[in-house]
């Protein structure tokens, strides 16, 4: 878990899980995260805590408009893909896209 400046609400922070790092290929299929064409086992992940957010970082591929299904996305250098533990009721990279490394404030202990 990491503490991250939320890209859509100035001054807000969120605890989230890094699900993809630079160079990874990320895709959502029927609510399952695929990283580099392999399904990720997130069954042990429980409910998480998240704060609310604000203004958008910029254009994001329309393919990510669906939270549960998306086209493959290759993460650029310095970009990370976040997933909240409580995926059905929080905002994460499925909504606002990858975040740049400078948004990561630190690792949650």
- The mean predicted confidence, pLDDT, of the chain is 79
Torsion angles phi and psi, residue 7, rounded to 5:
-75, -10
pLDDT digit string, tens, across residues 32-54: 899 999 998 765 454 433 333 33
| Structure confidence at residue 43 (pLDDT) | 57
Q: Who contacts 11 (Cβ-Cβ below 8 Å, separation ≥6)?
A: none
Give the confidence band of 91 by pLDDT, cuts at 50, 70, 90.
confident
pLDDT digit string, tens, across residues 49-77: 333 333 344 444 444 446 788 899 999 99
The domain locations on the chain are 2-59+67-107
Domain spanning 2-59+67-107: which CATH class is it, in words? mainly beta
């Amino acid at each position: 878990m990491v503490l991250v400046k939320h890209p859509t609400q100035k001054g807000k922070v969120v605890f989230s899980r890094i699900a993809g790092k630079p160079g990874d290929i990320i895709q959502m299929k029927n609510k399952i995260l695929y990283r580099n064409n392999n399904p990720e086992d997130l069954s042990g992940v429980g409910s998480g805590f998240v704060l609310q957010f604000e203004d958008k970082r910029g254009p994001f591929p329309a393919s990510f408009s669906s939270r549960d299904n998306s086209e493959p996305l290759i993460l650029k250098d310095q970009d990370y893909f976040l997933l909240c533990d409580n995926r059905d009721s929080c905002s994460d990279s499925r909504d606002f896209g990858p975040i740049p490394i400078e948004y990561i404030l630190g690792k949650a202990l």
